[in-house]
Amino acid sequence: MKNTTPSRKRAILPPAVQRRLDAIQHFLPHLTLPQQRTLALWCFGIQLARSHSLTLVSLLLAPLCKCHANAMRKRLKTWYAQTRRTKRPLHVQSCFAALLRWMTTDWSAPNLLLAMDTTTIRNRWIILTVSVLYKKRAIPVAWRVLAWDKQAWNPIWKQLLSALAPAFPPGVRVLVLADRGLYSSELFVYLQQLGVHPMMRVNGDGGVLVEGSTEWQVLQELVPCPDTHWRGRCRVFKTNSLDCTVLAIWAAGMQEAWIVLTDLPPCEASAVWYRYRSWIEQGFRDLKRLGWSCHRTLVRDAERLERVWLALAVATLWVLWYGTDEASSERVWGALWSRKRCVVSVFRRGWLLVWLEILACVDGLCRGWFPDPLEPVEDGGGRV
């Protein structure tokens, strides 16, 4: 029987991998060529396998690249499982600003939304993540993997944000959204020092001194019942006081009020914008059960998992880079897309378009970012 095992040991990059390599070389030029090539292979393999399993991705890529499966597996593993003897180690933090620049290339909106949040994996890892919010999805651009134990998070958040700061696009207002579990006056002030605008939710049991008043009250009293909202300048918390703008809303159907602190003037901000923070939860679902199955990872080293997350982030970014062009979707699916466009997420749409391009069913797909405008600010101020 004829031996069908490929005899070539050096991988031949398929056209789809080459397209990813070209983009990585453009936006991540500081990486070495072997690092760029392997990252392109990881990105392509994750998208096809919908998994970051080393064995599964190796078995998928080896026939496509006409190389031995063991050679492909060794190459993929060497990329993230680096040792002290590695000559040019891959420092993930050096890629954070580059990923944000990739995201904001030709950014047409006047605002850029970032979200800070954490996710867990197997009750073993806690991953602190800063993501770009886009089209009801989130793309991670900075992260840190921590062991499951108690430690201070604020210094790590500062490191992640400072790594992104050089890539904040000029002329674009950057808003950073965070849930109430992450609030601290120290982090609020640090975000201001970076030139971005925090929007951090807090609990309603803290004290507040409304500008022009002499009596302290409880934050929850600003919106005491459903179907009310309030905004204005205040001093919050008697301990570690902070002068800021308070945005409060308790809309009909909400279980409790949202109370958000920001440094924007009251006439330029809305508490409704805080709802965009929930998009990062969808982004975590894309990284886990709905997309790349990161929740099943068997990686046992934090630095290695951070490098795997780089491949997951690039794979997610690439899918959304393809999936948000309405003209391409109309051309591929026609009238059906007009009726079902709200049913299919941009993540799933981009993944389908990637597959169709690989199968040579479509060509000339347009890549780019098409951000939606923020909801308008409500007229008036005070309680309504």
Over residues 325-378, the pLDDT tens digits come to 777 777 777 766 656 556 778 888 888 888 888 887 776 667 788 888 898 887
Q: Grade residue 1 by pLDDT with cuts at 50, 70 and 90.
A: very low
The confidence score (pLDDT) of residue 332 equals: 73
Domains of the chain: residue spans and CATH: 15-89 (no CATH), 95-284 (3.90.350.10)
Burial 282-309 (b: 16+ CB within 10 A, else e): bbbbbbbebbbbbeebebeeeebbbbbb
Sorting pLDDT into bands at 50, 70 and 90, what band is 315? Answer: very high
Q: Residues with Cβ < 8 Å from 26, sequence gap 6 or more?
A: none
**How many Cβ atoms from other residues are within 10 Å of residue 148's Cβ?**
11
Average pLDDT, integer, range 19-25: 94
Round to whole Å and give the CA distance between 357 and 48. 12
Nearest to 70 by CA among 124, 30, 11: 11
Task: List pLDDT tens digits, range 266-309.
Answer: 999 999 999 999 999 999 999 998 888 888 888 888 899 999 99
pTM for this prediction: 0.90
Instruction: Give me the sheet containing 207-210, strands edge to edge.
Output: 137-147, 125-134, 111-121, 173-178, 197-201, 258-262, 242-250, 228-236, 207-210, 217-218
* pLDDT, greater one: 338 or 261: 261
The tens digit of pLDDT for each residue in 49-102 reads 999 899 999 999 999 888 898 999 999 998 988 776 777 888 899 999 999 999
Q: H helices within the chain, ranges in order?
A: 15-27, 33-49, 54-65, 69-80, 96-103, 154-164, 185-193, 279-287, 302-323, 326-333, 335-340, 346-358
pLDDT given for residue 11 in this prediction: 66
How does pLDDT run across 201-224, given as a tens digit for each residue? 999 889 999 998 889 999 999 999
Q: What is the pLDDT of residue 10?
A: 60
Q: Does residue 44 contact residue 16 with C-beta atoms inside 8 Å?
A: yes
pLDDT of residue 308: 93
CA-based nearest residue to 332, from 292, 307, 359, 302 = 359
How many CB atoms neighbour CB 339 within 10 A?
9
